[in-house]
Amino acid sequence: MAMNALSRCSNQLRRLPLTRLRQMSTSPWSFFEMAPLDPIIGLNEQFQKDDYPSKVIVGVGAYRDEKGKPFVLPSVRKAEKILAEGGLDMEYAGIAGEPRFVDLALEFAYGEDSAALKEGRIQGVQALSGTGGLRVFGEMMKKHGSTTLYLPNPSWGNHKNIFTNSGLEVKNYRYYDADNSSLDFEGMVHDIKSMPAGSIVLLHACAHNPTGMDPTLEQWKELSSVIKEQDLVTFFDCAYQGFASGDASKDAAAIRMFVEDGHLISMVQSFSKNFGLYGQRVGALSVVGRDAEEAKKVVSQMKTVIRPMYSNPPRHGARLVTTILEDPQLTAEFREECKGMADRINTMRGALKDSLESAGSTRDWSHITDQIGMFAYSGLSNEQVLEMRAKHHVYCTGDGRISMAGVTSDNVDYIANAIHDVAK
């Protein structure tokens, strides 16, 4: 919206005679207005400005330990030490990033037993975490003639932003049944069947953001056969592998099923949450082709998008992941630590539900424990969220999404009381 207002402004300015322009200002930027704050990241800024001593933020999807502190995985610290002692150079990685990192990343997602992987049919590039991979994919598909991409309703707030900026038309398929706090599977299947040929359908691989509602394995099976009947581009966003159930292989079940069933999927992986490498921007974008040649061609096209965007990806985070996944011992430790994070979150889900009931709430909060992953879709309305912010200084995003990672045994009762107060 801001963009349109500004282009109207600049159009009007352009029609002015040049002399008038010169009189107005020597700066080309003088007619600017303030752009709106990002709904998720802007929340943090609001929170920072709040002076209330008991303020709590459960907004951004970044894991916190039971003390509410940021958590660097011990296996990551060990990998850091190895790197620090290794005295590695800082030369450019290739446009696609380090091949070794890409191989390990793909193995992590598709499974080292994957036939398609062994045949070389799965190829990929290092990406700037999830966002970067999504944007490269969007731009590449737009160049390739795609026009429309379907997101589940609801989806991560930045999805629409990314794909709209890629030049794609973004539409929704039914996903969440708000009335019943459950998956609207029938609606989802119906909408997928109605998608025009050539559409891109984006699926959350696990731990759907923001609802935490995932299809069951049976439902995934049905989705696979439904999509097989269609002429669609199937794209997975995999941001929580290992972090959802605590088991990285289990969390990749849907992806692996689709590849087994013969779908030529593409996928973006983020290592922000499961490896705790948020600020390092580590991810991967991959594609499954009919053969290795085909997959390589698609990768070559990914590179043409990347090169003018940022040339090549940052090395440090990728090196950390490589160091861990190359070492069986470190990998085992990592999986334990990741599971630990997932377990703590599940514990907090139970604690929040119990605390809500203790606070006297008679509403049905079972969706909080039914959901999976970092977020709980509380069911609070926007008004209730704003009231909670103003009255109790508890910050969550306007759609009622609570980052369970921010809930601790110290603040769970406070949060429960706040929710109960605005929701009763």
Q: How far is CA 82 from CA 78, 88, 104, 319, 410, in A?
A: 6, 10, 18, 10, 35
**Residues of span 82-111 touching another protein by CB under 8 A:** 84, 87, 89-96
CB 387 within 8 A of CB 402: no
Query: If we measure between CA atoms, which residue out of 271, 318, 285, 306 comes closest to residue 101?
Result: 318
Q: How far is CA 370 from CA 122, 131, 183, 343, 349, in A?
A: 34, 27, 11, 14, 9
User: At 318, which helix (H) or strand (E)?
Assistant: helix 316-326
- 156 has catalytic annotation: yes
Q: How far apart are the first and last CA of the chain?
A: 36
* Residue 354 beta carbon to another protein: minimum distance, rounded to whole angstroms: 30
**Residue whose CB is less far from another protein, 9 or 386:** 9
- 251 has catalytic annotation: no
SS3 286: strand
- The verdict on whether omega for the bond into residue 313 sits within 30 degrees of 0, i.e. cis, is no
**Residue whose CB is less far from another protein, 268 or 342:** 268
> Does 198 interact with another protein (rule: CB under 8 A)?
yes
- 303 has catalytic annotation: no
* Residue 375 beta carbon to another protein: minimum distance, rounded to whole angstroms: 16
> Does 321 interact with another protein (rule: CB under 8 A)?
no
* Residue 13 beta carbon to another protein: minimum distance, rounded to whole angstroms: 10
**Residue whose CB is less far from another protein, 298 or 380:** 298
Instruction: Give the whole-angstrom CA distance, residue 371 versus residue 207.
Output: 8
**Residues of span 30-49 touching another protein by CB under 8 A:** 30, 32-38, 41
Instruction: Give the whole-angstrom CA distance, residue 81 versus residue 195.
Output: 50
- The verdict on whether omega for the bond into residue 154 sits within 30 degrees of 0, i.e. cis, is yes
**Residues of span 336-355 touching another protein by CB under 8 A:** none
**Residues of span 270-309 touching another protein by CB under 8 A:** 272, 276-281, 287, 289-290, 293-298, 300-301, 303-305, 307-309
**Residues of span 370-399 touching another protein by CB under 8 A:** none
**Residues of span 121-160 touching another protein by CB under 8 A:** 128-132, 135, 139, 142-147, 158
Of 73-81, 343-351, 397-405, 409-417, the window that binds another protein (rule: CB under 8 A) is: 73-81
> Does 246 interact with another protein (rule: CB under 8 A)?
no
Catalytic site positions: 156, 237, 273
